[in-house]
Amino acid sequence: MENNPEEEAKQILEKLRPGGMWEPAGLGLSYIREGATELKLVQQENTPIAAQARVRMRVLVESIGWTIDEEEVSMVDTSHLSPQEKHMHEIMLRQQSAQRWPCPKCETPLVAFPLEQAVWQFDGQQEMRLPDGEIEEVEQWCVIIECPVCDTKVPMEPYDFGLIAGDDLMTTYTNEVAKFIVMSRMEVIQKVDAKSSDVIILGTFCPFSGSLLPPHVRGTNVTWSELADKGEEE
């Protein structure tokens, strides 16, 4: 597939969630989608590469009929940051932008949804082409959350859900029979020393119901508790 830069930019921007973040690789620029065809430049790394890219990106984005608001750009000096620190910084920015994602129908922020009731849904396998040309089957999952105001069901990418859900919800998983809580190393040690019987290591399937587990809890040490009322809403 050969795409020109305009086509590529257009495709990326049209797919971007309102309030979602776009960080073209290696440029040191962070944009957020503000409106139907409007971006806001929120952050620029303090480097010549980013300064030049900012001008090029503006020309590119305006050539496809979008606008960029460059009024409130925060300049960050990343030269003293280690790769890990840069990565942490990027995640923080993404989490901040995720706070603003709205319900597609009524604009209620997704973070205000009852996220603890999110449902992990397996959507089957999809073929993906790896960089070396090999084809691999990859499991497709989405997380369904429901708007408390207009009842719209919003399917999210697991990664995006992680951004709004935070660690506590990402280390808890409830299926039709049990609730699993991922343990820290200290918790595992304490449980094992105390010879607790509610400690297990999860594989691909739920050890009680046999149903498929979502990838983020596989291979983790968990404590579990049986659901009191199976199939009934709390």
Positions that interact with Zn ion (CB under 5 A): 103, 105-106, 108, 147, 149-150, 152
Q: Contact, 152 vs 103, CB < 8 A?
A: yes
Distances (CA, A) of 195 to 90, 91, 129, 182: 41, 38, 46, 17
Min CB(105)–Zn ion separation in Å: 5
Min CB(14)–Zn ion separation in Å: 22
φ/ψ (deg, to 5) at 158: -55, -40
Nearer to Zn ion, 35 or 104 (CB): 104
Nearer to Zn ion, 73 or 142 (CB): 142
Q: What does the alpha-carbon distance between residue 106 and residue 101 come to, in Å, rounded to a whole number? A: 11
Nearer to Zn ion, 81 or 144 (CB): 144
Min CB(216)–Zn ion separation in Å: 26
Min CB(234)–Zn ion separation in Å: 22
Nearer to Zn ion, 23 or 146 (CB): 146
Q: Contact, 13 vs 66, CB < 8 A?
A: yes
Q: What tokens appear for 221 in the block? A: 């040490």
Matching residue, tokens 């993906």: 128
Min CB(147)–Zn ion separation in Å: 3
Q: What tokens appear for 84 in the block? A: 């890990």
Strands 135-146 and 74-76: unpaired
Nearer to Zn ion, 105 or 230 (CB): 105
